[in-house]
Structure 1
């Protein structure tokens, strides 16, 4: 089973995929004239503008919901794994894919807003919706929707719950079975409340956990401040094969950096658009910019925090593709959360294991919440009326079962299954947004023109000549009386 899964991962994540992801991100960066740099100020400002409504959530809640999906196990275990198999240079390639990938995130999230619709009193949208409405390929939209449903409800929750269970077992000796039961009880209470409860929990938990984690990394960097020049030199020299120790694994540095970078920040994967579509905004480009910023927050802040803790304390091992040892600073320790735990222990003895276990719990648990919302959105796409309600009840049972099973199964298999789910979604979504980029690029141009005129940009799909974007056919009006005070 493990060998078969591994062979599928090798096909999906071949060098073709790596260069495809980098190429698409670079293309969108050029076509948008590097929107991720030009509109950095707008990204920050728009996070906190607007409010929620009966139909949608606020921009900040949508950001928190998407970040709950982006900020997960990949930020701790994924970053450590990238260093473990790609060396310090993998960190640079994680930064690179985040920078250019934020342009991909802008395109896909703007498209999600353009082609969103109201179903059962809530805004729904995402790749399946914009593929069908924008390209007209119903079969392709259904294929993506089914792939996402399987990935989000069956394949990927196990990675998150597995990391939580192992972290708590290592730190506190808690049985993985007990952890699994606790997770499904807590998750069940939250997902029964729907998108409003999920977004509400995310908007409180995500900022708290991210800020606390970053602050601790700054403490560790501060204690080891004299190593700053050496660490940055190590990252950059290893990234381009110039380091004598890591020069022989340049291909692994690029491959693992890009793969784990995409797994963490999800740019171009098609997950972010689900949350983006739920936001109450006056112009699609607004939420596109907010979602582009979420990639920065995820990788340039949280993943970097993990990388710095590990590299500044030298708490890592690196293994070459032929399984020969390149660096062995932690004898017998496998790549994963244990690297971060060891790093913290060097500065605050007795604190590392517990802190990482708790951080993993918050990071990974909120990611499972986001997975459920994305799966639910695709159930809403595939089914209507009574059948959709039945489908959502079945979905709740399935994702709870997958979460429990993931808490007690083999870690290597959990990661491999997650890589399959992610790989399928990335391939399908990147092809779609390449074909459908024009409306998103036009929306950015329209947003920019209105800003230059001193206006608060609003969008009208008829004036823009965009078909099948029914939500935006009239002039946008936000009724503050509808605002959800919660």
Structure 2
């Protein structure tokens, strides 16, 4: 079975997907005229604007729900793995894919808003919806929905829970089986409450968890402030093959930096549009810009915080592609969250390991909540014309089972399966937004024209008359 998993992984995560993601980000950045820079202030302004309604959640709640999906295991264990496989240069490529991916995130989130619909009294949307309505392809839409249910309902939750159980076991010597039972029970109490309970929990937990982690990183950076220029130089020189120590992994750094960057910030992957569609806004681009900013929070802030803590303290190993290690600073330590635990513990021996374990638990648990919401949205998409409660309960049992199994399985299998899920979704979604981005550009132009006229942009579909945008035709 392990051999089969590895073969599937190698097919999906070939160099083609890595360069597809990079080229997509470059192309969307150009056609949108660098919105990451030109609309940055607008992203911040819109983050706290708007209120929830009977049908939709607020922009900040949708942002928190998206961040809960973006900020997870990838920010702690994923960054450590990227450094372990690709050296410090992998961090540079995570930065690159975050900057470029922000443009992809703006497009996919705006499309999700454009083609959202009201289902059971609440806004629902995502790639399956804009594929069906925008491309008029039921087969393509169903393919994405099925892959997404499989990925977010079965594969990806096990990655998050596995990292939680490994970190908790390492820090507190608590059995993975016990952790699995506890997580499953607590998750069940939340997901049964639906999207409003999930978004409410995310709204309060996400700022707390991210803030606490960033404060710890800033403290460690302050203690090592003299090293900041040399660490930045190390990251850049390693990425550009200017550092002889890490020359053997310069190519690997690109692959692992992009791979872990996509896994972490999810730009272009097709998960965040589900949260974006749930927001109540007056113009689709507003939520697109908010989601573009969430990529920065994930990678440029949280992932960078992890990378700096690890690199400052030297608590990492780097594998040589042909076997052995280029750097082996901490022998016999499993690659992943342990690097971050060792890094924090080197400054705070009494609390370091426990702090990282708790931070990772919060990060990963909120991500699992977001995965459930995404999977449920796609279940409702597939059964939109009939009763879906049986399918919803099957999904709930499946995701709870995935969480438990992830806690007691090996890290290698969990990560491979998670990467397969991310890769399949990314392939399908990137193709879809490439085919649909011209329509999004028209809506983006409408937004900018209204801003130039000093208006608060409000969108209706009456003048554009795009088909299958019923929600905006009624505005």
Same fold (TM over 0.5): yes
Q: What do residues 132-172 of structure 1 show as CA deviations (whole Å, max 9, x unaligned)?
A: 00011110000000000000111110000111111111111
**In structure 1, what is the equivalent of residue 369 of structure 2?**
369
Q: What do residues 215-245 of structure 1 show as CA deviations (whole Å, max 9, x unaligned)?
A: 1011111111121121011000000111010
Q: Using the TM superposition, give the Cα deviation of residue 440 of structure 1 relative to its aligned residue in structure 2, in angstroms.
A: 1.2
Counterparts of 2:154 and 2:389, CA distance in 1: 19
**In structure 2, what is the equivalent of residue 77 of structure 1?**
77
Counterparts of 2:71 and 2:55, CA distance in 1: 26
Matches within 5 A, 1:164-203: 164-203=164-203
**In structure 1, what is the equivalent of residue 344 of structure 2?**
344
Counterparts of 1:207 and 1:228, CA distance in 2: 26
Gaps in structure 2 of 5+ consecutive residues = none
**In structure 1, what is the equivalent of residue 248 of structure 2?**
248
Which SS does the other structure have where 2:415 is aligned?
helix
Q: Using the TM superposition, give the Cα deviation of residue 462 of structure 1 relative to its aligned residue in structure 2, in angstroms.
A: 2.6
Counterparts of 1:458 and 1:169, CA distance in 2: 51
Q: What do residues 429-463 of structure 1 show as CA deviations (whole Å, max 9, x unaligned)?
A: 00000000012111111111101111110111231
**In structure 2, what is the equivalent of residue 482 of structure 1?**
none
TM-score by length of 2: 0.99
Counterparts of 2:427 and 2:227, CA distance in 1: 40
Counterparts of 1:90 and 1:383, CA distance in 2: 42
Structure 2 residue 379 is matched with structure 1 residue 382 = no
**In structure 1, what is the equivalent of residue 418 of structure 2?**
418
Q: Using the TM superposition, give the Cα deviation of residue 464 of structure 1 relative to its aligned residue in structure 2, in angstroms.
A: 1.9
Q: Using the TM superposition, give the Cα deviation of residue 212 of structure 1 relative to its aligned residue in structure 2, in angstroms.
A: 0.7
**In structure 2, what is the equivalent of residue 479 of structure 1?**
none
Counterparts of 2:37 and 2:461, CA distance in 1: 26
Counterparts of 1:6 and 1:385, CA distance in 2: 38
**Number of residues paired by the alignment?**
475
**In structure 1, what is the equivalent of residue 455 of structure 2?**
455
Counterparts of 1:292 and 1:330, CA distance in 2: 37
Matches within 5 A, 1:222-233: 222-233=222-233
Q: Using the TM superposition, give the Cα deviation of residue 386 of structure 1 relative to its aligned residue in structure 2, in angstroms.
A: 5.2
Counterparts of 2:316 and 2:269, CA distance in 1: 29
Which SS does the other structure have where 2:354 is aligned?
helix
Q: What do residues 271-324 of structure 1 show as CA deviations (whole Å, max 9, x unaligned)?
A: 010000000000000000000000000000000010000001111000021123
Which SS does the other structure have where 2:346 is aligned?
helix
Structure 2 residue 434 is matched with structure 1 residue 434 = yes
Counterparts of 2:434 and 2:384, CA distance in 1: 29
Matches within 5 A, 1:104-183: 104-183=104-183
**In structure 2, what is the equivalent of residue 270 of structure 1?**
270
Q: What do residues 235-281 of structure 1 show as CA deviations (whole Å, max 9, x unaligned)?
A: 00000111010012111000000000000000000001000000000
Q: Using the TM superposition, give the Cα deviation of residue 385 of structure 1 relative to its aligned residue in structure 2, in angstroms.
A: 5.6
Q: Using the TM superposition, give the Cα deviation of residue 423 of structure 1 relative to its aligned residue in structure 2, in angstroms.
A: 0.6
**In structure 2, what is the equivalent of residue 398 of structure 1?**
398
Gaps in structure 1 of 5+ consecutive residues = 477-486
Matches within 5 A, 1:350-365: 350-365=350-365
Counterparts of 1:4 and 1:386, CA distance in 2: 36
Counterparts of 1:199 and 1:262, CA distance in 2: 23
Structure 2 residue 14 is matched with structure 1 residue 31 = no
**In structure 2, what is the equivalent of residue 288 of structure 1?**
288
**In structure 1, what is the equivalent of residue 65 of structure 2?**
65
Counterparts of 1:51 and 1:385, CA distance in 2: 30
